[in-house]
Amino acid sequence: MSDISNGQERKEQSKLDLAEEKVRKVEIIISTVLRVGVLTSLTLVVVGLIVSFVHNSGSLVNSSVREKFYISRAYHFPHTLGAMFSGLSHFDGTSIIVLGLLLLVLTPVVRVAVSIFTFLYQKDGKFMIITGYVLAVLILSFFLGKTGG
């Protein structure tokens, strides 16, 4: 093999190594964001469930699912931020669950937002644009209010 192609190969290899190292840092940061988000929301959901069962032990343990909430939609639970915060202020179990679920939903969005900053820090222009676009579409879809799973 000629020297020229060897040199080129080495250059390619060092380019790959550098990229690999950069990716590693982003991986650790993103994994941490996901782990913290997931564990916090899991804790809140479980605490909220326990609090609700302790507070309403009679109705939740004894009453039938059918007559309680699941079939009829007459049962009300907080599904606005205002209702959730007012529930949280008096340690309402349902509102703690809702806060946990909300955190869970926000975790992937935070993950996208954080990766933009890591790419910015690493001066990776292409991936800054890519993740920036994804975050923009995500925010847009929140406002448009129409997307599937």
Partner 1 sequence: MSVLVFSLVLFAICVLAGVLGSLLGIGGGLVVVPVLTLLFHVDIRLAIGASIVSVIATSSGAAAAYVRERITNLRIGMFLEIATTTGAITGAYIAGLVSGRVLYVLFGVILGYSSLQMFRKRHGHPPLEVSTDKWANSLVLHSSYYDVAEGKEIPYKVTNTKVGLVLMYVAGAVSGLLGIGSGALKVPAMDLAMRLPMKVSSATSNFMIGVTAAASAGVYFARGDIDPYIAAPVASGVLIGALVGSKLLPKLRAESVRLLFVVVLLIISIQMLYKGIL
List binders of partner 1 among 97-126 (CB under 8 A). 97-98, 100-102, 104-109, 111-112, 115, 126
**Among 1, 5, 74, 80, which residue interacts with partner 1 (rule: CB under 8 A)?**
80
Instruction: Tell me which residue of 131, 100, 99, 133 sits closest to 114, measured CA to CA.
Output: 131
In three-state secondary structure terms, 71 is: coil
Asked if 114 and 29 touch (Cβ cutoff 8 Å), the reply is yes
Give least dist CB 26 to partner 1, A.
6
77 touches partner 1 by CB under 8 A: yes
* Interface pick for partner 1 out of 7, 21, 35, 117 (rule CB under 8 A): 35
In the complex, what is the shortest distance from the CB of residue 36 to partner 1, in angstroms, rounded to a whole number?
9
Half-sphere exposure of 127 (CA within 13 A, CB side): 17
